[in-house]
Amino acid sequence: MSSSPLPGDASNDPTTDQTGRFVRQPNGRVRPLSPHLQIWRFHTTMWGSILNRFAAGALSVGSLFIGGWLAAAAFGPDAYAGYAAVMGSPLGLLIWFGITCAAAYHLTAGVRHLVWDAGAGLTPKAADALTVVSFIAALVISVGFWIVLFASGKVVL
C-alpha cells in the first residue's frame, strides 16, 4: 500500500500493473483498489459516515447496559437498587449520556441515509447540508434531553 505519487510508467492496464493498485476480487474480477485513508481529504460526509459507524459500535456496547437494566429489574428490588446506584454514579451517567448521543446521531444519520436511499439530496452540496443538519439535530436531541433531565430533578449528580 503506497501513498507516494505514482511512478511515471505506472500502467492503467491491470494485466501489466506492478504497483498493486488492482485487486482480484473473490469472484475473479480484477478491480482498481480504492484509495486508502491518507489519500483522502477529510470532508463533511466522510466525518458523517465515520461517526455513524462509530455510533453504531458504541450502541452495540450500549445495548449491554440496557440488557443489564432489564436483568436488574427482573432480579428484584435489591438488584435494581444496586444497578441504579452504579449507573447513577457520575461514571454511570456519563455512560448513559454517551448512549444517548450515539443513539441520537445514529437516528439522525439513519434518517439522512433513508433520504439518500429514496434518491434525494445526493448532490455534494445537499449531501453536506443534510450531514450538518444530522450533526446539529443529534446534538440538540441528546444535550437537550439531558438538560431537561437535570432541570426536572429526575437525575441528580
Residues of the shown chain interacting with other proteins in the complex, contacts defined by CB under 8 A = 27-28, 53, 56-57, 59-60, 63-64, 66-67, 70-71, 73-77, 79-81, 84, 100, 103, 107, 110-111, 113-114, 117, 141, 145, 148-149, 153-155
Considering only CA atoms, which of 50, 122, 52, 62 is closest in space to residue 92? Answer: 62
Identify which of residues 4 and 34 has a Cβ nearer to other proteins in the complex. 34
What's the closest the beta carbon of residue 156 comes to other proteins, in angstroms? 8
Which alpha helices (DSSP H) does 75-123 contain, by range? 77-87, 90-117
Our CB check for other proteins shows the closer of 22 and 80 to be 80
- The residue (of 81 and 122) whose beta carbon lies closer to other proteins is 81
Q: Which is nearer to other proteins, 11 or 80 (CB)?
A: 80
The Cβ-side half-sphere exposure at 7, using a 13 Å CA radius, reads 9
- Asked if residues 87 and 112 have their Cβ atoms less than 8 Å apart, the reply is no
Answer yes or no: are the C-beta atoms of 50 and 106 closer than 8 Å: no
Residue 6 or 71 with smaller CB distance to other proteins: 71
Burial degree of 130 (CB within 10 A; 0-12, 13-18, 19+): buried
Residue 11 C-beta: closest distance to other proteins, Å: 26
- Name the phi and psi angles at 6, rounded to 5: -70, 140
**What is the smallest separation between the CB atom of 13 and other proteins, expressed in angstroms?**
22
At closest approach, how far in Å is the CB of 48 from other proteins? 16
The nearest distance, CB 8 to other proteins, in angstroms, is 31
Q: Residue holding cell 449520556?
A: 97
Strand partners, 30: 24
